[in-house]
Structures are given as C-alpha cells and as structure tokens.
Amino acid sequence: MRKSSAMVPYLIWMALFIVIPLLLVVYYAFTVTTPEGTTWSFENFTRFFEPIYLRVLWRSLALALISTLICLLLGYPVAMIMAGNAFSRKNVIMLLFVVPMWMNFLLRTYAWLAILERNGFLNVLLSSLSLPRLNILYTNAAVILGMVYNFLPFMVLPIYSVLSKIDKGVVEAAGDLGANSVKVFTRVIFPLSLPGVVSGITMVFMPALTTFVISRLLGGGQFTLIGNLIEQQFLVVGDWGFGSAISMVMIILILLSMAIMSFFEDEDKEATLW
Amino acid sequence: MTENIVQLKGVSKIFDETVALADMNLSIRKNEFVTLLGPSGCGKTTTLRLIGGFEQPTNGTIWFEGKDISNVPSYKRRVNTVFQRYALFSHLDVYENIAFGLRIKKLDEQTIRQKVGKMLELVNLQGFEARDVNSLSGGQQQRVAIARALVNEPEVLLLDEPLAALDLKLRREMQHELKNMQKQLGITFVFVTHDQEEALSMSDTVVVMQDGEIQQIGTPEMIYNEPTNAFVAGFIGESNIVDGIMRQDRLVDFGGARFECVDVGFERDEPVDVVVRPEDLVLIPVEQAKLTGVVRSVTFLGVHYEMIVDAADGTGWLVHSTLMEPVGTTVGLGLAPMDIHIMKKVSE
Ligand SMILES: Nc1ncnc2c1ncn2[C@@H]1O[C@H](COP(=O)(O)OP(=O)(O)OP(=O)(O)O)[C@@H](O)[C@H]1O
Ligand SMILES: [Mg+2]
C-alpha cells in the first residue's frame, strides 16, 4: 500500500512529461490538417520516404556511425591507460575528460567554431608555422570532429569503469597459462570489457544520431541531419505532423539499435563458446 | 641424487615496508611434493608468486632447471598455478576455462576435448562443461581452478591452498587424486596449505615458515618428531611447550622436577624450551608421578579425550588419552625420556 502511494508523484510526472507528449507525437504523425479539417493519414510517413529525406537519414546514420567508431578507437586506449595507471595520473586524465563536460554543450561547440574559422585559432597557428591553411569548417569532417569531441567522454567512462573492475588475478592467470600480452588482451581483457564497450557505443551513437546543434553550427546548415530536419519542421516550417512522423522514425531507429546492442550483450557469452 | 628443478637463492621480497620474504634459500627436486606451511602472512603466497613470475625478487635469484629465470615473464615459465582466489575467467564457461591454456598452445580440437574431459572427470565435474563459472559453488570453482592448471601438465605446479573450500570428504578424495596425478604425471608440486594434517600426509618435504623465514625443511616425520625449535613444534600438531633448564646432558629440570631425557649438546644450566606432545603424556597414579595436577576440563574428541591438567606451577598440560578422569580429580602425568624434546631458546 505504502509503496504504491509513494509512486503516485512519479506516475504523474511520467504521465505529464513522457506519456502525453509521446501520445501527442503519435497523434500529429498520423493526422493531416487541411482547411477542411483534420483527418487520419499515413501521408506524413510516405513523405519521409522520398529520396531527399532518405538521403538525410542515410547521412545521419553514416556520420553517427563514423563518430561512434572514432570514439571507440580513441576512447578504448584512453580508458585502458586510466584503468592501468597509478592513482595520481589516472585522476588527471579523468579531470581532462570531465572538466569540459561541466561547460555548456553549446558553448563548447561554439568554441570549435572559433577554432576552425577561416581566420580562427587553428589557421592562425598553421600559418604562423607557415603551413597551408585548413578549411574544414562547414564540412562533414567538422561535424564529425564536433561529435567526437562532445561524445568521447561517454565512450571512455563506461569502458573505464568496466576495465577498472577487472580482477588483476585474472590477467595473471592468463599469463600463467601461457598467454602473452596480446593474447591476454584479445582473449581476456577485451571480452571482459564488452559490456562497457556496448554501453559506450550506445551512449555515443544515440546522441550522435539525433544531434542538431553540432551539425548546424559546424556544418553550417548545409549538412542537414535528421535532427535538423525535425527542428525545422517544428520551429521553422510549422509542419508538426511531418516533424512528428520523423520523430517516430527516429524513436523506432533508436529502439532498434538498443535491441541490437542488448542482443550483443547477451551474445558475448555465447560468442566465445566455440 | 635427483636434480633440482626450482631453486631460490638468497631471495628476499620487500613490499614498501613489509618484509614478505627474508633471504630465502630453497631447492626443490624434480617430482618432489613440497609443502609450504606456516601461519597467515608468513610469505607462502609470495613464494609461489615469485616462482610463478608474478613478482620480481627484491634480492636474490630464482633458478629453473639450472637456468636463472628471475627476469623471464610468467607466460614463458613452464609453471602453472592454482591461485588462492581462483581467478577464473568469468566470460568463459567451465569447459573453456579449462581449455584456455591448451588453446593458447594451439592444440587441435580433438586433443583439447579429450584432455578437458579427463580433467573434468578427475575433479568430479562431469556435466558442468557449459556452466557459467559464476554460478558454481566455491568448492566447484576451486576444482575448476585445479583442472585449468593441471590440464597443461606443467613441469611444476604451484598450488595455493587449493583444497581450502572443500568439505572434508571431497578434500580427502582430492588429496588422494592430486597425489596420484603428481606421481603418475611426474609433476613437481609446490603446495601451500594451512592444514598441517594435509601437509604431513601428502608431502615429501615440508617447509615450515614464519615471518618470511624458513624455520625448518624436512620430511613430514622429521618435522613432526624432531622439530628444530619451539615454533615448529607448536605449529605442527599440538604441543605442550614449557620453560626448562638443562642441568647436564640427558638431564632437564621443568615443572618443578628433574627428568631424564635423550638430548645432548647444551650448556650446563642452559635455559631451554621443553616440548611434550599431548599424546605422550599418560595418566598414572599420583604417588608414582613427578608431575601432578588437577583436571580442569575434559573434551571427548572421538578417538580420544582431550584433558587440560593444571599443575601446581600454573602450567596447563594438554593431555590426549583414551582414558579419562573426571574434572577436579588430582592425577599424575608420566612421560618417557624419549618423549621429552629439548629445543634451544630462540634468541630475540
Ligand atoms: N602486493 C603486496 N603489497 C604489500 N604487501 C604485501 C603484498 N603482497 C603480500 N604482502 C605482505 O607480505 C606478507 C606475506 O604475504 P603472503 O600473501 O605471502 O602471506 P601468506 O603466507 O600467503 O598468507 P595466507 O596464509 O594468509 O595466504 C604479508 O604481510 C602481506 O601483507
Ligand atoms: Mg596466501
């Protein structure tokens, strides 16, 4: 009895801020409003499957995947260094990663704008070293850079937390059984760290797929991602129906990728069976 | 004379301020079953870790088959370890845990299956192949750890309290199996245990350690019957250890009386430790006894009774006997000259 009454505020909160908005999204997605009135329709969805929008979807997926991969390749070694090192150095590296996260996300991204600009910090530095200028602002590269920069900590921290919990005795046992350091890594450390890798990938891929700030600022608006598309529909075009439909596609995509990831998480036990 | 397979020469190990091992010299012969015995924290695990290559000696060298291996990494040493804390691979099932070393050696699937099967049988875990190691009981995990090391048929197997988590019956069985394996496969065992009965029954050689130093090395019989000092006597089996004074060769004073003994080579009037095993004390009529006392407690232990007899000088004598006297009775204690063991006092 007490338990269920204690849950009431949460239930109200969830209803107000999660369930009702979701229902509204569903409602808008499946209706079209014309001067004659509002009717049920799949039109918003069929519109999304036009090539121009599919290209946006494809680009979003590609950029998110590339960013996630780069985050993994950069983040794993950092997590290993942090997990394997003496106390003081570990804390310094950790701080380096966490301090930028205390700063506002928008500010951080604006800072990159200043760095990458035609006459920004990077190019001033390059030309002072008499190296050729680099104009990567408003390219895919800049967007990926922004994503990697912003989301890297979400890759490093979960991997670090799993790695630091691996019993040193297990590593010794593998060495005892004849495994050199490469084999210790491929056969013991990496498989044991998979849960961290999976949650790192999830935590980077999701926001990378849905971001619209990074692509707008660093992509200069010419590299529309699916997040920008949704934003435009709601705030600029005012087509809530189409915006809701795209949002629903996104929700489905995210649920799908979460399902895939959790499948991998269960699978890593079976995968090593052979 | 068989050759030495492992030798520690003047090895010491210092962690920060703790001296875990001090100037240890130990030679282990091929096919020998050596047991390290000693109280918690005396450096048994450290000794094994040095041989296994998980620690580097602060001083001294470690030799394997006549070669200095002090700087050889553990994965190149032909030694396998059963770890005190098991250290099983939690991402692998029982079968793959045991097969780990064989896969590293790239043996073919057929051989692996056969060897792992044999091991599972040995440690009594048939049918557990696909089990997640985290779902096993402590004793089952311990047996997987034994199988995982033993399956590689190493030259030397290091076992750090490998049977500690097993119940008495399984423990006896495994002691027997391990001893058999050791003889059959001709593997040198370096075994750590807290259980002195286990040490005495299984070993060719027992090494008694205290505070990082070897107190005595010898066969189980030597260690039990001729302990070199009061520490060894007190640690191996139960003992009465009292202060005494050596009057001359074969004559010692303790407990307020003079006794004949068989020990020689002490100074005249030298203070010594006198060690008497509880099973060597016999109940005799008071009027024939040099040692008398009042029975304080009687405990029935199955085969025999354990009694504590308080002597007039305050010593509580531990007596094991198949006979008993009720609490409060005054009894006499008799002992034969050869059952009195005289030890030099350890000078601090
Ligand atoms: N890595 C380490 N760092 C600091 N001190 C250590 C370390 N390893 C061992 N020691 C210390 O060295 C001493 C010997 O430890 P060791 O583990 O060899 O004891 P042990 O004989 O195996 O004891 P037990 O029977 O309890 O397992 C202890 O005082 C221990 O605290
Ligand atoms: Mg130990």
Mutating to test ligand 1, I would choose from B35, B44, B161 the residue with most ligand atoms within 8 A of its C-beta, which is: B44
Atom number in ligand 1 closest to CA B43: 18
CA B126 to chain centre: 30
For the ranges A235-239, B64-68, B71-75, B110-114, the lowest mean pLDDT is seen at A235-239
Q: What is the average per-residue pLDDT within B325-331?
A: 93
Q: Backbone phi, then psi, for A220, in 5-degree steps?
A: 65, 20
* Least confident interval from B99-108, B180-189, B328-337: B180-189
Q: Based on the fold, state whether residues A125 and A198 are members of the same structural domain.
A: yes
Res B294 pLDDT > 60: yes
Q: Quick one: which H or E segment has residue B185?
A: helix B168-185
Tell me the C-alpha distance between A264 and B102, whole Å: 27
Q: Are residues A27 and A7 in the same domain?
A: yes
Note whether residue A141 is domain-resident: yes
Q: Are residues A24 and A131 in the same domain?
A: no
DSSP state at residue B108: -
> What's the pLDDT band for B74 if we cut at 50, 70, 90?
very high
What local confidence, expressed as pLDDT, does residue A87 receive? 64
Amino acid at A256: L
* B2 pLDDT above the threshold of 70: no
Residues of B in contact with A194 (CB under 8 A): 91
Give the pLDDT score at A30: 92
Q: How far apart are CA B75 and CA A166, in angstroms?
A: 19
Give the 3-state secondary structure of residue A76.
helix
In DSSP terms, which residues pair with B67 in a beta bridge?
B64
**Among candidates A177, A183, A268 on the partner chain, residue whose Cβ is nearest the Cβ of B91:** A268
Tell me whether B52 touches chain A (CB under 8 Å): yes
The stretch B261-283 carries a mean pLDDT of: 92
Is A148 in a helix, a strand, or coil? helix
A91 and A13 part of one domain: no
Task: Note whether B337 and B260 are within 8 A (CB).
Answer: yes
Q: How many folded domains does chain A comprise?
A: 2
pLDDT at B11: 96
Q: Is the CB of B85 under 6 A from ligand 1?
A: no
CA-CA distance, A125 to B246, in Å (whole number)? Answer: 90
Interface test with B, best of A162, A176, A267, A274 (most B CBs within 10 A): A176
Domain assignment of residue A61, yes or no: yes
Asked whether residue A220 falls in the same domain as residue A165, the answer is yes
pLDDT number for residue A137:
84
Residue having the nearest C-alpha atom to atom 5 of ligand 1: B15
CB-based contact (8 Å) between B131 and chain A? no
Q: Is B104's pLDDT higher than 90?
A: yes
CATH number at residue A199: 1.10.3720.10
The stretch B91-100 carries a mean pLDDT of 96
| Cα gap B43→A111, rounded to integer Å | 57
Do A158 and A101 share a structural domain? yes
Q: How confident is the model at residue B234 (pLDDT cuts 50, 70, 90)?
A: confident
Please tell me chain B's helix, strand, coil percentages from 3-state DSSP, rounded to the nearest 5: 30, 35, 35
Contact between chains at B79 and A183 (C-beta distance less than 8 A): no
For ligand 1, whether the C-beta of B20 sits within 6 Å is: yes
| Whether A245 and A184 share a structural domain | yes
Interface probe for B, chosen from A165, A177, A193, A268 (most Cβ of B below 10 Å), is: A177
Torsion on CA atoms B136, B137, B138, B144, rounded to nearest 10? -40
Residue B33 sits at the chain A interface (C-beta within 8 Å): no
* Chain A, chain B: beta-carbon pairs less than 8 Å apart: 73
Residue A46 lies in a domain: no
Q: Quick one: tokens of A159?
A: 């991997």
| pLDDT computed for residue A263 by the predictor | 80
Ligand 1 within 6 A of CB of B203: no
**Is the distance from the beta carbon of residue B15 to the nearest atom of ligand 1 less than 6 Å?**
yes
Cβ contacts of B93 on chain A, cutoff 8 Å: 269, 273
- Are residues A104 and A179 located together in one domain of the fold? yes
What residues pair up with B299 in beta bridges, in sequence order? B306
Does residue A262 sit within a domain?
yes
Residue owning the nearest CA to atom 1 of ligand 1? B15
Residues of chain A with pLDDT under 70: 1-3, 85-88, 223, 265-274
Q: Residue A177 and residue B73: Cβ atoms within 8 Å?
A: no
Tell me which residue range forms the domain holding A4.
1-41
Contact call for residues A215 and A143 (beta carbons, < 8 A): yes
Q: Residue B58: pLDDT band by 50, 70, 90 thresholds?
A: very high
Pair (A7, A88) in one structural domain: no
Mutate which of B11, B21, B42 for ligand 1? The one with the most ligand atoms within 8 Å of its CB, which is B42
Question: What pLDDT does residue A272 have?
Answer: 37
Q: What's residue A266's pLDDT? A: 61
- In a domain? residue A227: yes
Residue A125 sits in the same domain as residue A4: no
Q: Is residue A148 situated within a structural domain?
A: yes
Measured in degrees and rounded to the nearest 5, phi and psi for residue B294 equal -110, 130
Same domain, yes or no: A36 and A167: no
Cα–Cα distances (Å) from B333 to A71, B243, B308, in that order, read: 80, 17, 11
Dihedral angle computed from the Cα positions of residues B4, B5, B8 and B9, in that order, rounded to the nearest 10 degrees: 50
Q: Which among A170, A183, A273 has the least Cβ separation from residue B89? A: A170
Number of the ligand closest to the Cα of B43: 1
Q: What is the pLDDT of residues A185-231, one digit of tens each?
A: 999 999 999 999 999 999 999 999 989 889 888 887 776 889 999 98
A61 & A137 share domain? yes
ipTM attached to this prediction: 0.82
| Measured distance CA(B26)–CA(B9) in Å, rounded | 7
Residue A226 lies in a domain: yes
Distance B191 CA to ligand 1 centre (A): 16
Query: Is pLDDT above 80 for B286?
Result: yes
Please report whether residue A94 resides in a domain.
Answer: yes
